[in-house]
Amino acid sequence: MTADDRNVILKTSMGEIKLELYWNHAPKTCQNFTELAKKRYYNGTIFHRIIADFMVQGGDPTGTGRGGTSIYGQKFEDEIHPELRLVGAGILAMANSGPNTNGSQFFLTLAPTPYLDGQHTIFGRVSDGMSVLKRLGAVATDSQDRPKEEVKIHEAVVIA
């Protein structure tokens, strides 16, 4: 298996989401995501933030939205490409707290979010499991956008 043909399946409590990774555009980000998956870093974590018609966010082992580290240490730089844009549902991007603050957290879009273009590294898309993502986006949340009932990533599996 070479670096540019590895993808990831998120086995969630609501079903499976297969992610095609954009190795040609964001190799460092894809490497981070797959290495964390191989280390079982995402296994048992929750989607801690869900906003209907916007996005679902996960990848924080603390479940707070404030945790998580990369394979490179604490944070790493963005890999922004103008030809990659948040044009619809199912786009995979890194969550961050400003430029060059990528760690382990990621989000999947539920709708176009053009106002975020150029602010987040886009590194993949949902290739199978859009119905699961849509169901994830429809779960009941509290006033802090946290799901009222936990939605988990049981396992993140790297595949060819």
Active site residue 123: no
Which of the four pLDDT bands, split at 50, 70 and 90, describes residue 100? very high
b/e code 16-50 from CB counts within 10 Å (16+ = b): ebbbebbbebbebbbbbbbebbeeebbbebbbbbb
Supply the pLDDT for residue 74: 81
Helix then strand count (H, E) for the chain reads 2, 9
Active site residue 47: no
Q: Give the pLDDT mean for 59-72.
A: 96
Residue with tokens 């298996």: 1
User: Residues 7, 31, 57, 105: which is the catalytic one?
Assistant: 57
Active site residue 96: yes
What backbone phi and psi angles, to 5 degrees, belong to 5?
A: -120, 10
The H-or-E segment that residue 158 falls in is strand 152-159
pLDDT of res. 1 = 44
Among 33, 47, 106, 107, the active-site one is 107
Specify whether the CB–CB gap between 18 and 128 falls below 8 A.
yes
Spatial distance between the Cα atoms of 112 and 55, rounded to a whole number of angstroms? 10
Answer whether residue 4 shows pLDDT above 70: no
User: Pick the catalytic residue: 25, 43, 85, 116?
Assistant: 116
Q: How far apart are CA 87 and CA 8, in angstroms?
A: 21
| Percent residues over pLDDT 90 in the chain | 95
For range 127-142, the mean pLDDT: 97
